[in-house]
Structure 1
Amino acid sequence: MLSDIFIDIQKNKKEWLKIKEGNEFEDRFEASLKRYGFNRRIASDKEIKDILLSLKNDVLDKSSDKIIDNIYALKDKSMENCFICQPYGSQNFPDFLIFTDKKIIAVEIKYSSGKSSSPMWNSNLPKANAIYIFGSYGRGDVTFFIGADVLPMNERIELIEFFEEIKKLEDDFKIKMKKESKNNLFAYKFDRGFNVYVRRAYEQNKTINDNAKIDYFLHEDRIKCENNVIEFCNSL
């Protein structure tokens, strides 16, 4: 069962943390999937490509909390208890897409060779319906959680909408300046090609809330979050 892997992480942290690099940790997780009865499917196979394309919007939707049904197993039993590594590329979410007999679960690994106490999110937010494994080689610790347990939906929507508003300002600015550069011979030419570029990025800090608890290893809800993952996997 999928839950057995997370129970193993809890019980055997030292073994999991012998690995320093994130790609090696992913290899260890893949080996555990195989050991507990999950078969690897190859993302480049034609039939798998078609499945991944049909799933892409649901898997990558930042605002969704839906647990995806495994409708593919109804026609093809080989789509039960299997997984796909890096289904949308090595730099994109998720690291693993796991197919149980009834559901499809995204798993993302956040691993630091240093002493980080919280994951790097960059342009992504923790997906409400995904499982995250966060390990820090330098801290000598590893934990895991469901995205919804660290980011409530109302806060998620506010963070998403912020960048939607910023994107609109960016687009409006470009349209305005393009018009000005065409119509005004002296004020705006932009003949060196200068432009604006807004990069979406999320981080965890205490800027908004001085009392925010951003250390994932010391957080009071750590064990609760880990147990939620195990219970969730059991429910599948």
Structure 2
Amino acid sequence: MTCDDFKRIFPKYQGTRYVSDKAEVEETRENAKVRKVVLENSCCQVIDPLMVKELSSFFEKAGSDNLFLKDCDGIFLYDGSQGKKHLIFCELKSEFSTPKIYEGYKQILSSCIKLKMLMNLLPNYRKDDYEVLGFIFSRPKKDLRDWYKQSLLSSKNREASFVRRLCYTKESAYKLTTKECFEIKDLKLGENVLFDTLELHHIAVDAPNNTYRLDVEQYVS
């Protein structure tokens, strides 16, 4: 199993573990408005985020692309009821803005690539066995007209286009293929650290709540 294999190869990262009913992601900054996400109905494996985050210092020393220096808040491996395996990445943001949401996407993308680098060390890892889901939690999106005016003044076209597609369409998820991810286009990475599709969701956390309970089964098949 993935947790056992990770613990054997990286024994000091004890945050990697099994949970039987729910898992949690916490934002530790004191001024955070979205502080915790609880994944319910989630008999899953928690991946110690430090195991992935500490790769960032290696990439920084190596002078690598800035994308590799970003990390998300929580990583989980979930076995769906239909036998599919899912890598779940969570990022908590205190506010809704185009730069913040776009940054959350890049943090998830970077953590996914770095986790897959590590998973390639595992004896039974096959890229095609895993589907990839990313969740960005923040305060609710702005009115479309207000957001549009703000984005014209403060955001790059690529960022605004991404946020519009993720948050302002009727579709429940934004599904990106590797070819659609501009951020990795010029990196020319190996197939085993990539994905066929990255399914992204924006989840609104209404004020004054700072905790959100996510039913994982609603998003996996």
- Scaled by the length of structure 1, what TM-score is found? 0.27
Richer in helix (by share): 1
Higher Cα Rg, which structure: 1
- Scaled by the length of structure 2, what TM-score is found? 0.28
- Say which structure, 1 or 2, has more relative contact order (CA 8 Å, 6+ apart): 2
Richer in strand (by share): 2
